Amino acid sequence: HGFWYYEAERSFRAILAHDPNCAMAYWGLSQANYENEKRAKAFIQKAVELLKKVCLNITEHEKASLDAEIAYHDDKKEKDITKRRKNFLRAYEDLILAYPDDIEAKALLVCRRWQFMRKGIPITTYIGLDAILGEVFAKNPNHPAHHYAIHLWDDRKHEQALDSAAKLGNAAPGIAHMWHMPGHIYSKAKRYHDAVWQQQASARIDHAHMQDWFLLPDQIHNYAHNNEWLSRNFSHLGKVRASIDMAKSLLTNPRHPTLNTPEKKKASARYGRMRLIQFLEKSELWQEALETANSPWLEKLPKPEDDLSRLRLIGVAQYHHKQKAELQQTIGTIDTHLTQAQADQDQAKQKAREKAAKEKKNEKDTKAAEKKAHDQHQKKIKTFENNLTELRGYLAAMDGDLKAALTAMAKRPSNINRAPYELAFGDKSKAAETAKKQIEKNNKEAIPLAKSIYVLHQINKDAPLIKTGFDELRSFSSEIEIKSPVFARLAPIAKQFGYPDDWRQPHTPAKDLLARPKLDSLGPLHWTPPAAPSFTLPDQHNKTISLNQYHGKPLILVFYLGAGCLHCTEQLTAMADRYPDFKKEGLPILAISTDDVSDLKKSQTNYKKGNIPFPIISDFKKDIFKKYTAHDDFENEPLHGTFLIDEKGRILWSDISADPFMEIDFLIKESKRLLSLHQ
């Protein structure tokens, strides 16, 4: 019910380890793989085989549940997936009619109905589905189906799910996602204090779980989504430093080629970079922006289009610092990228023409191919052009051409408040109009509201509206960082209205909330590297080597499956060949094998260039493999593992898999990055 499919599968696998003939465990494994059709189908087929071959103690009720799942995955009898989905819903309705006390079937019916809506089958009655959930909660008020109530009403009428938002976390307190989902509802309701609390709880539970199981943050579904949303909600409350710290936290998370890179959508690295740039600008921390944009926090990305947001931040900060020559240089850099993008577009069009001619295409098809090549580059070109227009507008303002600056402002991103710039560029009327609209939105976002109050006060226009805006700001001001630039300049206005120097007001909790645990009891707010388990093991010479010997320096720790594993030999060979590169970066290597001591020398023999230049030690009993979770407990087999351990004995990075990690360049680069950020 919490969509924690990985742990759900582990639970049903534990049942099968106890009772291999439990058909309903395969039903559960199929449910736990709803988003993996091929895997779900394979599991339900196991249940089919059991039903044929084994005399099972299974009830008609359980059989009906199995039959619905079996039919859903039977694409031979019915190839049309939409029809199968509709038949599945009808089967669950029949199940509920036959067994009206089955609240699990009712909960799953609502869940699948919502999920199938996202697959093209519109929901015709939200109230009807809500009524079914009402029957579930009548029998079990704390049922985790509150999760489905939130999803059901999230994009329709969020107020309907406020009761479920208050109850869901306590319904399944060990699942981070169940604390996160109420944040959807509270954000829609603009109750950002409550949204922040929920998302903090989710982050902390995730981080505690990662510490226990040596998981990378982006291995957990929705982790990055929760924490970037948390950073936004911190910003809405005026918690400037907290929003920036959370963005930086996402950037300090370990990266992985398949999980987390700056180019990968919905990954920590991409979200963290996006939000850090946004909040530095939004909070007008111009000196910090310049320093951060030229630091490991915001490294230069290989593709100019990916690096553009960093360059734009530099340009905006240079304008605010009156660094005209530097701004001209930044504009020149972006202009060079634009010229290259235009050349790439021309080249792509030329290649499309040549290919069409070679294939003897007609004129219509040739033009279509050219247009496709043109369109593939046009979005990138337009983005470069818009950013150049904006930055040249700031340059024009520095030269006193305010009309050109105002014209350029039309290209400014819509999520940034324009009013202060319109005021600076001399259009008081437009600035007042923009500020007024922002106040009237009443969206309870502290920074845009504070900017609008300041702009109207500078223009000396509409004092009642300024007072209304300030009173609104004070109503949710408990977390505002009052000395931050955007809020510090409100001090004279507060004095004019007779407010105290600290004009913030305490937060009054809503009356519809239930008891909540203390946040600190759930885990750390930011990802925290776990301590590496200690060990003392013999090498091929029966000399003991311990982890403590490496204290004070980083270490690459490799778990491999003995000299008989060809993939392991490939990894050790690759690392031995590149050992000078590891050594240059101060990264010693230690390999732990499943071989006993007498067989360790075979790994050395497998290396054709002499002796492997790093120690190899034996964990024949696989005790250390298990401590580092490089072990499949169900198959009772060791797994390949590669770890980066820092000088303090903490695990900064890991890869645990059925295959050894072979991307040596990535490992060296990421190790260097993480060690610099986690000092």
Torsion sign over Cα 206, 212, 215, 219: negative
Total-model pTM: 0.94
Active site residue: 22, 111, 565, 568, which one?
A: 568
**Residues in the chain, how many?**
679
Looking up tokens 């931040």 gives 313
pLDDT tens-digit series, residues 566-586: 999 999 999 999 999 999 999
Distances (CA, A) of 437 to 225, 291, 427: 30, 34, 16
Task: Give the pLDDT score at 607.
Answer: 84
Exposed e or buried b per residue across 106-143, where buried means at least 16 C-beta atoms within 10 angstroms of its C-beta: bbbbbbbbbebbeeeeeeeebeebbebbeebbeeeeeb
pLDDT at 447 over 80: yes
Task: Give the pLDDT score at 377.
Answer: 95
The set of residues, in sequence order, having a beta carbon less than 8 Å from that of 507 and lying 6+ positions away, is 193, 476, 478, 479
pLDDT at 556 over 70: yes
- Under DSSP, the state recorded for 533 is P
pLDDT at 400 over 90: yes
Q: Cα Rg for the chain, rounded, in angstroms? A: 30
% the chain with pLDDT above 70: 99
Reading the block at residue 472, the tokens are 């609104």
pLDDT at 412 over 80: no
Q: In sequence order, what DSSP letters do the residues of 455-477 get, joined into one string?
A: HHHHHT--HHHHHHHHHHHHHT-
pLDDT at 544 over 70: yes
Q: In sequence order, what DSSP letters do the residues of 301-347 get, joined into one string?
A: PSSHHHHHHHHHHHHHHHHHTT-HHHHHHHHHHHHHHHHHHHHHHHH
**Strand, coil or helix: what is 564?**
coil
pLDDT tens-digit series, residues 23-42: 999 999 999 999 999 999 99
pLDDT band at 603 (very low <50, low <70, confident <90, very high): confident
Torsion sign over Cα 12, 13, 16, 17: negative
d(C-alpha 611, C-alpha 468), whole Å: 77
Q: What is the 3-state secondary structure (H, E, C) of 265-304?
A: CCCHHHHHHHHHHHHHHHCCCHHHHHHHHCCHHHCCCCCH
Q: How are beta strands 555-560 and 544-546 bridged, if at all?
A: unpaired
pLDDT at 415 over 80: no
Region 244-264: mean pLDDT is 96
The set of residues, in sequence order, having a beta carbon less than 8 Å from that of 258 and lying 6+ positions away, is none
Are 64 and 98 in contact, with CB atoms under 8 Å apart? yes
d(C-alpha 150, C-alpha 181), whole Å: 7
Could you give the residue ranges of the DSSP H alpha helices within 189-254? 192-213, 223-236, 240-252
pLDDT band at 54 (very low <50, low <70, confident <90, very high): confident
pLDDT tens-digit series, residues 321-351: 999 999 999 999 999 999 999 999 999 999 9
Mean pLDDT, the chain, as a whole number? 95
Closest residue by Cα to residue 163 from 139, 145, 175: 145
**Strand, coil or helix: what is 560?**
strand
Reading the block at residue 384, the tokens are 């470069």
Region 256-274: mean pLDDT is 95
Reading the block at residue 38, the tokens are 């091929």
pLDDT tens-digit series, residues 141-154: 999 999 999 999 99
Are 318 and 334 in contact, with CB atoms under 8 Å apart? no
Task: Give the pLDDT score at 679.
Answer: 85
pLDDT band at 610 (very low <50, low <70, confident <90, very high): confident
Reading the block at residue 9, the tokens are 């599968």
pLDDT at 378 over 90: yes
Residue 597 carries which side chain, given as an amino acid letter?
V
* Cβ atoms < 10 Å from Cβ of 290: 20
d(C-alpha 503, C-alpha 521), whole Å: 32
Are 168 and 107 in contact, with CB atoms under 8 Å apart? no
H/E segment holding residue 545: strand 544-546
The set of residues, in sequence order, having a beta carbon less than 8 Å from that of 197 and lying 6+ positions away, is 516, 519
pLDDT at 413 over 70: no
Looking up tokens 């050109």 gives 404
Task: Give the pLDDT score at 414.
Answer: 63
pLDDT tens-digit series, residues 295-312: 999 999 999 999 999 999
Task: Give the pLDDT score at 57.
Answer: 79
Residue 233 carries which side chain, given as an amino acid letter?
N
Task: Give the pLDDT score at 525.
Answer: 97
Give the range among 74-78, 491-495, 574-578 with minimum mean pLDDT.
Answer: 74-78
565 carries an active-site annotation: no
